[in-house]
Structure 1
Amino acid sequence: MNRDQLLDNYHRKLERIENSRTYSTNAKRVMAAKAYKETQGALEQIRLSEIKAIEDRREQLHRKMFGRENAADAQTVIARRDANDRAGQIDNPRIAAEQMQTALRQGDRTMAQAIAERAADWGWSDVLDSYAQANPSFRSHVQEYNELPDTDAVSNWGIQHSFLHVVSAPGILHDANSGTIEALASQDLEAA
């Protein structure tokens, strides 16, 4: 069920509860609190799954950009570690550009990927341009990667996304704080 469907069900359920002539006011408050907690929990699960999907996609794109898409045998893992160690020692964009050209000329894809990743970390655009020319899909992956929202909770997107996944408290609980709603939701309906 998606966010809109959850909210629609929630509002219909609240309407049935509030319009019922069968239940006492306290029973209605308990039922409304339970509906609120249930819906808020479901919305939180949707929010977290959306964030996970974005983070998974970001990781997948990172692997595609820098060549770690497939499972690797032991020899490939060792070659990657060696290339990453050597690329990690580069501290000059000119040297990185030279080593990138050498790696591309020699067909050393692993080294080129390691240098490209280092260049991305340091913002060396000339080096990344060289890598992109040799890897046509790189630019489209970078573009998609950069278009993904920042899922950090304090980013603009993170705050807006959180607000989209908060349900308003029922009208019958207008005077209740979160602790009271929690207490009502935990009550046994038979006792209410």
Structure 2
Amino acid sequence: MNRDQLIATYEQQLNRIQGNRMYSDHAKKVLSAQAYKKAQEGLETLRQAELDSLARQRTQLQRRMFGTTSSSSDPNAVIARRDANDRAARLDDPREAATALQRAERDGDTVLAQAIAARASEWGWTDVLDTYAADRPGFVRDVEEWNALPDAEDIGWKLGHTAQFIAPTPPGFDGAHLASIDWYAQQSLDSDEPAPVVPSIFGGEAA
């Protein structure tokens, strides 16, 4: 079930609860709060799944661009990659990186060339990256795909993404603090315990 389907099912459930004349106002609040909690749990699961999928996409692209997609257990290959990463990490000037990349390409050292390109990407050395990409159309496509992905660390994107996975407030709780919904979700349908006084998000008190 996707986000839209989950919210549609939740809203249909709320409508059925509100339209049932057999329920008291208290019972309607209890059932609506329980429906909200369940819907919100489902939405949070979907939100996290999207973040996990995005992280996997980024990891796969990084491996295609700067690493290896194989799971080789060859110790020589592991040592070669580690050595290449160490050598690239010592580069702190784009001119040195460009020279090192040219030498690696000339020697056919693909692993070192990848490590240098990764270093250039970290430091924003676009000239070095352009040189690396010149004869690698696959790399260019991967970069374009990477750039098309949202930045999960961007605060604005985080807020917007999170807002998409918040269930609508159930009837009777408009302006209420989430603590009020939590309290009702734990009550029995025929409970006569008075609801706690919780400050409204708009000021004043909310039942």
Give your verdict on TM over 0.5: yes
For 2:22 and 2:175, locate their aligned partners in 1 and report how far apart those are by CA, in whole Å. Answer: 22
Q: For structure 1, list consecutive stretches of 5 or more residues without a partner in the other structure.
A: none
Secondary structure of the residue aligned to 2:172 is helix
Shift of 1:188: 3.5
CA deviations over 1:43-85 (Å, ceiling 9, x no partner) = 1111111111111101110010002211132211110110111
Give the Å deviation of 1:35: 0.4
- Secondary structure of 1:171's counterpart equals coil
Gaps of 5+ in 2: 193-207
Greater helix content: 1
Q: Secondary structure at the match of 1:168?
A: coil
Work out whether 1:126 is the aligned partner of 2:116. Answer: no
Counterparts of 2:109 and 2:16 in 1: how far apart (Å)? 67
- Tell whether 2:60 aligns with 1:78: no
Give the Cα separation in 2 of the matches to 1:82 and 1:150. 30
Q: Which residue of 2 aligns with 1:53?
A: 53
Q: Which residue of 1 aligns with 2:155?
A: 155
Structure scoring higher RCO (CA < 8 A, sep ≥ 6) equals 1
| TM-score, scaled relative to structure 1 | 0.93
After superposition, the C-alpha distances for 1:116-148 in whole angstroms (9 at most, x for unaligned) are 111111111111111112322111111111121
- Map 1:90-129 to 2 at 5 A: 90-129=91-130
| RMSD of Structure 2 on Structure 1 (CA) | 1.5
Q: Is residue 2:57 matched to residue 1:69?
A: no
C-alpha contact (below 8 Å) 2:33/2:184 kept by paired residues: yes
Contact 2:17 2:31 in 1 (8 A): yes
Supply the AA of the counterpart residue of 1:143: E
How many residues align? The count is: 191
Code of the residue aligned with 1:184 in structure 2: it is: Y
CA–CA distance in structure 1, aligned partners of residues 110 and 137 of structure 2: 14
What is the rounded CA distance, in whole Å, between the counterparts of 2:177 and 2:88 in structure 1? 56
Q: Give yes or no for contact 1:104–1:134 (8 Å, CA) kept in 2.
A: no
Note the C-alpha offset of 1:176. 3.7
Alpha carbons 1:90, 1:96 under 8 Å: kept: yes
One-letter code of the match for 2:61? L
CA shift in 2, pair 1:175/1:81, >3 Å: closer
| 8 Å contact from structure 1 (residues 18, 172) kept in 2 | no
Same amino acid, percent of matched pairs: 45
Q: Which residue is 1:140 aligned to?
A: 141
- 1:14, 1:35 within 8 Å by CA — same for their partners in 2? yes
The CA deviation at 1:191 is 4.8
